[in-house]
Amino acid sequence: MIFTYDYNGDRVTVQLERQPDGSYRAAIGDRTFTVEAQPLNEGGWLLAFGHQRLVVYSAAAGGSRFVSLDGRDYTLAVPETSGARRSRRAGGSGDLTAQMPGQVMAVLVAEGDGVERGQTLVILEAMKMEIRVAAPAAGQVKRLLAQVGDVVERGQLLLEIE
């Protein structure tokens, strides 16, 4: 199985190959690991490779994959295959929307703040996971439309960047 994601401006390819003993050979970029995976009662997985053990939870919404790996959260994007959709999005308004329903746990910027591409701006909690919503490009926060405690729906506008 081969999975490709965009993360912080980089394209990451993960190749998983099931081994006869039930473990997986995982190739991520130029690094290779042997990983054992055990399902956990609460829906996550215990991953063991070498002497290291990590707990992972994941959720998908639209073109995004949300991963919590041993308490660290990552948002991965499934690359678009259509150049037309990609270029239209690049010239968009800078709107930042919720990728899945959840509750706003933190707003890390204020109107007028300058932001960098990839900077975490809002933290949502969804399905017992912390989702970090990052700036798609550098700019300035034009308008905040969400505050701590708000419950948001998928696609709801959180803030605008210009």
- Residue 53 forms part of a structural domain: yes
Q: Are residues 102 and 141 in the same domain?
A: yes
Pick from 45-59, 88-102, 107-121: least confident: 88-102
pLDDT tens-digit map of 129-148: 788 888 888 899 998 888 88
Q: Could you tell me the CATH number of the domain that includes residue 126?
A: 2.40.50.100
Q: How many CA atoms lie within 13 A of 146 on its CB side?
A: 30
- Residue 82 forms part of a structural domain: no
Spatial distance between the Cα atoms of 31 and 112, rounded to a whole number of angstroms:
41
The total of structural domains in the chain comes to 2
- Residue 83 forms part of a structural domain: no
Q: Are residues 100 and 144 in the same domain?
A: yes
Domain hosting 117: range is 93-161
Spatial distance between the Cα atoms of 74 and 118, rounded to a whole number of angstroms:
11
Of 78, 100, 93, 99, the residue nearest 139 (C-alpha): 93
Average pLDDT, integer, range 113-126:
88
Which of 43, 77, 111 terminates a domain? The answer is 77
Q: Are residues 20 and 45 in the same domain?
A: yes
Q: Are residues 99 and 63 in the same domain?
A: no
According to the model, what pLDDT value does residue 82 have? 36
- Residue 84 forms part of a structural domain: no
According to the model, what pLDDT value does residue 85 have? 33
pLDDT tens-digit map of 16-52: 888 899 898 988 878 899 999 888 887 788 999 889 9
According to the model, what pLDDT value does residue 80 have? 63
According to the model, what pLDDT value does residue 55 have? 92
Q: For residues 29, 81, 133 and 158, what is the CA-based torsion angle, rounded to 10 degrees?
A: 180
pLDDT tens-digit map of 58-91: 887 777 888 898 888 999 888 764 333 333 333 3
